[in-house]
Structure 1
Amino acid sequence: MTHDGAGGATRVALYAGGFIGPFGGGMVTVLIPELRDAFDVSSSAASVALTAYLVPFAALQLVSGTLGERFGRARATRVAFVVYALASLWAAVAGAFAPFLIARALQGAANAFTTPLVLAALADATPEAALGRTMGTFAAVQTAGVVGAPLVGGLAGALDYRLAFVVAAVAALILAWMSPGGGAARQRVKAERPRFVEALTPRTRWTAAAAFLAYLGVTGLGVVVALRAGDAFGLGPTERGLLLAGFGAAGVVAGRPAGGLTDRRGAVGVAVVGAAGCVVLVPLLGIVDQWEGLALVWLVTGVASALLWAGLNVLTVGAAPANRGGAVSVIGAFKFAGNALAPVSWLALYDTSAELAFAGAGGVCVLLAATVTRAGRAAQTRA
């Protein structure tokens, strides 16, 4: 991947930095029974391990990018990876549930700094002509983190759940040593001292709205899809997990080609095509009458999502040139908010009618397509 001018080792580290964010959040999803037994708590209490990570991860992203730009990306990412590694080791050795939750919160706080700064650094290291492919690859890597986290967590849990945290700590220390972030960008940041308000351009605001809608109407539907697979077709947990994995697997495979298409056809056009595909596909999830059809539609929706995010990521990194990291983190915060709201919103409708829930999500995708178009037209001016 040397076509875009970045060093090979640095590029690998940047992509790996994108992987570890969703991986750190999702690896405990399958470890709830092990955590429940290890700390002698209820299943609902053990699930707080997810919340403890996600709340600081989401909240701090509103400002983490700007803070990282001010202190220097290389320094901020290095410190964040070290903190993440120490927090992971603390989680591995914690003998009580409260210290374990504190360690999880520190993991989430650290990853709030790594993810936006890594994406901003990738954008700085990539020529404009290759930006789409790089952003598509980054989206594929993040999707791989989402898909791989339960797998690695499950393998570790079969032996000892602590191994998952030890592996995460070792990976973070390696990334800290490789220091993704870029010296040139660091010197520029020191000279300019970006401000938070410089991240809030019109394009940032519209792209943040689009990211919120993309997770609300598409990515966040996984729990509803799984519920319908069980209720309508009687699929067990293993079968439901495999069905859901199709969405992520499609995103991993399609991410880089979708990015290449973005380079050729433009970010807005490709993202709108992806959103339009979701307008058609998402309502079908509520009316297909066989589990094979549900699995196929969800897989193709993953391809449409890859197109959507290849374009949205390009819009994200170009939203605020004066404070790129700040804009990326603000948009990331809204993306997570959509993900958090989706299960609450659609499950309430699902209790009334599965068709109504998925039709509502399809309506959100219509609004998403319009919002992406507006984000493309928005000027990249300072707030």
Structure 2
Amino acid sequence: MTDPRNDDAPAARVGLQLGALLGPFGGGIVAAVLPEIGTSFDVSAQAAASSLTVYLLPFAALMLVSGTLGQRWGPARTIRLAYVAYAVVTLVAAVAPWFWLFQFGRGLMGCANAFTTPLLMARLAAMTPPDRLGKALGVFGAMQAVGQTSAPLVGGLAAAASWRWAFVGIALVGAVLAAWPLPADDEDDRAATTRLRDPWRAAVLLPGLAALTAWGCLAGLSFLVAFRLQDAFGFGAGMRGLLLTGFGVAGFLGARFAGAAADRFGGRLTALGGLLAGAALVVVIGATGLAPVAVAAWAAAGVCSQLVLVAVNTTVLSGDGPGRSGAISVVQAMRFLGMAAAPAVFTAPYHADALLGFALPAAVLLATVPLAATLTRART
């Protein structure tokens, strides 16, 4: 059997990294075109905005089991079928004449994405030497940041003709990825264990909780930062959208640094730095009266989020326990559930007092510091 860490398959490695783009890109593509979607289907702005939630909730919920199921079925086969499904249901959303059918397509896009992200990460870890795992996952995180950051821009540009063309483009990308070479399934890895309960252990759930709080209290605050940019500095929608991309751009630029830090210093110190610095930056955003300081702090928070997430992912994917795909799948589900919960948790405190709205997530980040002790260096 071919060693899955053999670097003679660069195309497969590139395919795994490129796959990181698709989910965040498809999820965020509607952000800039919600008014156009509402007009097309004659629905309210609030109803159009629900297309974000309709994608995210099944995506996060299915990831609680998708990694384990994909390992059972064969990772390469599962990823390829998920890409095909993603392309098909994206076309359904693109041509849908009714809003309910568009929402149905969006929900199925989230379901299909749940069977790509964790399995891509697990296969990438399987073909990467342990002492380089942090860097590889840093690149993966950078590609996710590119997808998340570029989606509103591409969607906005496509809307000049029709928002539907953006979905057609996503479907074509899914079809290309479905045909892209992938590392062959490792039968030994499939046979190791495929029980759904295997990932539900402390060695997975504690790092997953760190991912939940870090993503919810950093990336999940984009809505709160938008409120702050409007209320404190009077920025309009276009400028707010542009400034919010600083988080993703900085995350992209800092992802390789985060990976190198995890390889050199281990997950514990890497996550500790991200949590402490992230907490300080969140407070700065809520306290400063200077717009450039708030914008710079938000961008720097993007690097902090990568420090924590790469540390968590490296720890989980280099662990000794069974079910690597299932373990990283549960962690990613917790990560996005944290992001989904942030608006419900932090909106009311912000409207009561702006500084309180940002001090509360900062306090949660500080309370997460003890969880950094559960993170380790990748095994060599």
CA contact (8 A) 2:65 2:196 kept: yes
1:323 aligned partner: 323
Q: Which moved more, 1:361-370 or 1:223-232?
A: 361-370
2:31 aligned partner: 29
1:59 aligned partner: 61
1:216 aligned partner: 216
1:153 aligned partner: 155
Local SS of the residue matching 2:260: helix
* Counterpart residue type for residue 19 of structure 2: G
2:179 aligned partner: 177
TM-score for the superposition, normalised by structure 1 = 0.94
Q: CA deviation at 1:318?
A: 2.7
1:42 aligned partner: 44
Q: C-alpha offsets along residues 147-179 of structure 1, whole Å, 9 cap, x if unaligned?
A: 011111111111111111111111111111115
Q: CA deviation at 1:370?
A: 1.4
Q: CA deviation at 1:51?
A: 2.1
* Counterpart residue type for residue 52 of structure 1: V
- Give, in whole Å, the separation in 2 of the partners of 1:147 and 1:96: 28
2:275 maps to 1:278? no
1:249 aligned partner: 249
- Give, in whole Å, the separation in 2 of the partners of 1:184 and 1:103: 29
- Give, in whole Å, the separation in 2 of the partners of 1:209 and 1:142: 20
- Give, in whole Å, the separation in 1 of the partners of 2:150 and 2:126: 28
1:109 aligned partner: 111
Q: CA deviation at 1:68?
A: 0.2
Q: CA deviation at 1:375?
A: 4.1
Local SS of the residue matching 1:90: helix
Pick from 78, 89, 92 the counterpart of residue 90 of structure 1. Answer: 92
* Counterpart residue type for residue 183 of structure 1: A
CA contact (8 A) 1:64 1:113 kept: yes
Q: CA deviation at 1:374?
A: 2.9
Q: C-alpha offsets along residues 242-293 of structure 1, whole Å, 9 cap, x if unaligned?
A: 2211111111011012211221111221111111111221111111111111
* Counterpart residue type for residue 239 of structure 2: E
Q: C-alpha offsets along residues 310-353 of structure 1, whole Å, 9 cap, x if unaligned?
A: 21221232346421110111111111111011111111100111
Pick from 98, 101, 106 the counterpart of residue 99 of structure 1. Answer: 101
2:43 maps to 1:74? no
CA contact (8 A) 1:5 1:127 kept: no
Alignment of 1:255-334 (within 5 A): 255-319=255-319, 321-334=321-334
Per the alignment, do residues 331 and 95 of structure 1 end up closer, same or farther by CA in structure 2, a change over 3 Å counting? same
Q: CA deviation at 1:144?
A: 1.0
1:355 aligned partner: 355
TM-score for the superposition, normalised by structure 2 = 0.94
CA contact (8 A) 1:63 1:329 kept: yes
Pick from 5, 8, 11 the counterpart of residue 9 of structure 1. Answer: 11
Q: C-alpha offsets along residues 214-256 of structure 1, whole Å, 9 cap, x if unaligned?
A: 1222111111111011001111112211221111111101101
CA contact (8 A) 2:251 2:306 kept: yes
Q: Cα RMSD over matched residues? A: 1.8
2:373 aligned partner: 373
- Give, in whole Å, the separation in 1 of the partners of 2:255 and 2:177: 23
Q: How many aligned residue pairs are there?
A: 374
* Counterpart residue type for residue 287 of structure 1: A
* Counterpart residue type for residue 317 of structure 2: V
CA contact (8 A) 1:70 1:189 kept: no
CA contact (8 A) 1:316 1:327 kept: yes
- Give, in whole Å, the separation in 1 of the partners of 2:191 and 2:306: 36
* Counterpart residue type for residue 230 of structure 2: G
Per the alignment, do residues 356 and 58 of structure 1 end up closer, same or farther by CA in structure 2, a change over 3 Å counting? same
Local SS of the residue matching 1:29: coil
Local SS of the residue matching 1:183: coil
Q: Which moved more, 1:238-247 or 1:187-196?
A: 187-196
Local SS of the residue matching 2:207: helix
- Give, in whole Å, the separation in 1 of the partners of 2:47 and 2:301: 33
Report the identity percentage.
41
Q: CA deviation at 1:192?
A: 3.2
Per the alignment, do residues 319 and 223 of structure 1 end up closer, same or farther by CA in structure 2, a change over 3 Å counting? farther
Q: C-alpha offsets along residues 75-115 of structure 1, whole Å, 9 cap, x if unaligned?
A: 10011000000001111111111211111111110001101
- Give, in whole Å, the separation in 2 of the partners of 1:92 and 1:104: 10
Q: CA deviation at 1:63?
A: 0.5
Q: Mind listing any 5+ residue stretches in structure 1 that lack a counterpart?
A: none
- Give, in whole Å, the separation in 2 of the partners of 1:360 and 1:35: 34
1:134 aligned partner: 136
CA contact (8 A) 1:200 1:320 kept: no
1:202 aligned partner: 202
CA contact (8 A) 2:76 2:185 kept: no
CA contact (8 A) 1:282 1:361 kept: yes
